[in-house]
Amino acid sequence: MPPAEDRAERAERILDAAAELLLRAGYRRTTIEDVAERADVGKGTVYLHWKNREELFLAVLLRDSVRVLEELVATIAADPLSVRFSRLSEIQYANVLKRPLLRAGYADDAETLGKLLPKLHGKLDPRHAEAFVEYLELLAGHDLLRTDRPVRELVVVFQAVLHGFLAASPPPEPALLADTIARAFEPLAVSTRQLRAVAPRALELFTEAVALDRKQLERAY
Amino acid sequence: MPPAEDRAERAERILDAAAELLLRAGYRRTTIEDVAERADVGKGTVYLHWKNREELFLAVLLRDSVRVLEELVATIAADPLSVRFSRLSEIQYANVLKRPLLRAGYADDAETLGKLLPKLHGKLDPRHAEAFVEYLELLAGHDLLRTDRPVRELVVVFQAVLHGFLAASPPPEPALLADTIARAFEPLAVSTRQLRAVAPRALELFTEAVALDRKQLERAY
DNA sequence: GTTTGACCAAATTTCGAATCTGGTCATATG
DNA sequence: CATATGACCAGATTCGAAATTTGGTCAAAC
């Protein structure tokens, strides 16, 4: 087989298999052989792509994460007003809810992710958190975010709220999150003009983030 | 020994022992004999107070829960303005944080509470939830709570937010919760006069709730 | 009447044997 | 030569039966 394009295609197939099994049986119970069989490759082939089991499954989550970020970038590109914090939160929340594995990640679902959970936060967070803070500071600089508290504090509260929403069962409607975020974090009036002014830079920020994640995903396999 | 007053005293001692061990070793690893020994009573004596292990440990949590509610009632009695939703949330949050077992309960800490967790929500919630909804409706009727959404929805969001705060590590400052609740749930202006008007009824509500809990606690032992 | 700890069935833990799985690599394939 | 594979192995996991512990009872002690 040509080493170029088919390789990535096969990697996708393996990730698909891993995702499917991860969701159905959980990390602990999913073996590399299961994955290899379902992806129609030999077990050794899996190790041609990822250096061990953990990396494989982290790649599954990273791929979902990239996809969600891509969706976000596309949404902002299509409608600049989506950079509004409450709107963006709503979009991300809804998109995460649609992806059971990510939802498990954000909600600390140990049953399906098992020992993957700690490693996960060490893998995805650092860069995302940075980009997120930059985004919030961008908003704050344009009267699109309350400025009476340091962004650092707002981040803590936002994460708590998001976690609470994701961990609840059933998770509340995305609209309720949007409403909560709007009231808790935004100034009384949110200027449409300012939103448009800020959108390009935000788009840039998230595009960079998604590029970095994509790179890390490629490097992984 | 006289069967009247000493009985309650001994029950307290047993609960103290159980609380201490529960906190240190967790539910799974704490045996009735451990508790009996630490409380300086025979094992059989424990069963003179609670019909089984589960009831004993539930009583530990119920007692803490009663204490926190008592604190709340005292606080409101001392300062009627404490009935303000954001202020009351802050007080309860801070008080729960001070009690590791309750914190474990609200934050679904399975490590220390183990199989007690499911039973717990079935034991405390029903009445408390009711009183809480009544309290919110009382506020809503006096322009002390936003009325553009049904209380039912507000409850869901509040629980998600509270859970998020309690589950975070480290838990954010109580002042941050107060601020979040104020913005997310209260109208722009909160009338001091209305707060005073509402305080007596709220006090009544919480006093009833604490009385019911206390009764259930007594019935338990 | 009250308290207790010996007692027992059932649950939990222990621990060695049996099985399974992550990861490697010599071989096969093309 | 480059790539894919599954037999292979050490270490992890699971299994199972025996040993231990524990929740709950109750006859005896007080």
* Nearest residue to A145 via CA among A103, A104, A185, A189: A185
Look at the alpha carbons of B24, B26, B30, B32 in this order and tell me if their dihedral is positive or negative: positive
CB contact at 8 A, A146 and A185: yes
Domains held by chain A: number: 1
Over residues B91-103, the mean pLDDT reads: 98
The confidence score (pLDDT) of residue B4 equals 54
Q: What is the CA angle B87-B90-B93, rounded to 5? A: 150
Q: Is residue B201 part of a domain?
A: yes
Q: Which helix (H) or strand (E) holds B169?
A: none
The confidence score (pLDDT) of residue B2 equals 47
The confidence score (pLDDT) of residue B3 equals 56
Over residues B64-79, the mean pLDDT reads: 97
The confidence score (pLDDT) of residue A124 equals 76
The confidence score (pLDDT) of residue A166 equals 97
Cβ distance of A167 and B157 shorter than 8 Å: no
pTM: 0.94
Out of A151-160, A207-216, B35-44, B176-185, pick the least confident: A207-216
* Nearest residue to A174 via CA among A117, A80, A103: A103
CB contact at 8 A, A57 and A18: yes
Contacts of the segment A197-201: beta carbons below 8 A, 24+ positions apart:
A197/A142, A198/A83, A198/A138, A198/A139, A198/A142, A198/A144, A199/A76, A199/A80, A199/A81, A199/A82, A199/A83, A200/A80, A201/A138
Q: Above 60 in pLDDT, residue B150? A: yes
The confidence score (pLDDT) of residue B5 equals 57
The confidence score (pLDDT) of residue A1 equals 47
Which residue ranges of chain A lie beneath pLDDT 70?
Answer: 1-5, 220-221
Over residues B84-111, the mean pLDDT reads: 96
Specify the amino acid at residue B2: P
Q: Above 90 in pLDDT, residue B138? A: yes
Q: Is residue B47 part of a domain?
A: no
Which residues of A fall below an 8 Å CB-CB distance to B?
149, 153, 156-157, 159-165, 167-168, 172, 176, 179-180, 183-184
Share of chain B above pLDDT 90, in %: 87
CB contact at 8 A, A32 and A119: no
The confidence score (pLDDT) of residue A144 equals 98
**Residue numbers in B near A161 (CB within 8 A):** 160-161, 164, 180
Q: Is residue B9 part of a domain?
A: no
CB contact at 8 A, A151 and A137: yes
The confidence score (pLDDT) of residue A3 equals 55
Over residues B74-93, the mean pLDDT reads: 98
Over residues B36-50, the mean pLDDT reads: 97
Range(s) of the domain holding residue A163: 64-218
Q: Is residue A41 part of a domain?
A: no
The confidence score (pLDDT) of residue B7 equals 85
Q: Above 80 in pLDDT, residue B219? A: no
Q: Is residue A78 part of a domain?
A: yes
Q: Is residue B119 part of a domain?
A: yes
Q: Is residue A190 part of a domain?
A: yes
Point out the residue among B153, B172, B179 whose CB comes nearest to the CB of A176.
B153
Q: Is residue A47 part of a domain?
A: no
Separation between the CA of B31 and the C1’ of D19 (whole angstroms): 19
**Residue numbers in A near B162 (CB within 8 A):** 164
Does A170 sit behind a cis peptide bond, omega within 30 degrees of 0 on the bond before it?
Answer: yes
Return the residue in A151, A183, A185, A188 with the most chain B beta carbons within 10 A, the one to mutate for interface testing.
A183
Token pair of A178 as six digits: 């949007």
Out of A207-211, B6-10, B125-129, B193-197, pick the least confident: B125-129
Separation between the CA of A73 and the C1’ of C2 (whole angstroms): 74
Cβ distance of B180 and A157 shorter than 8 Å: yes
C-alpha to C-alpha distance for B158 and B177, rounded to whole angstroms: 11
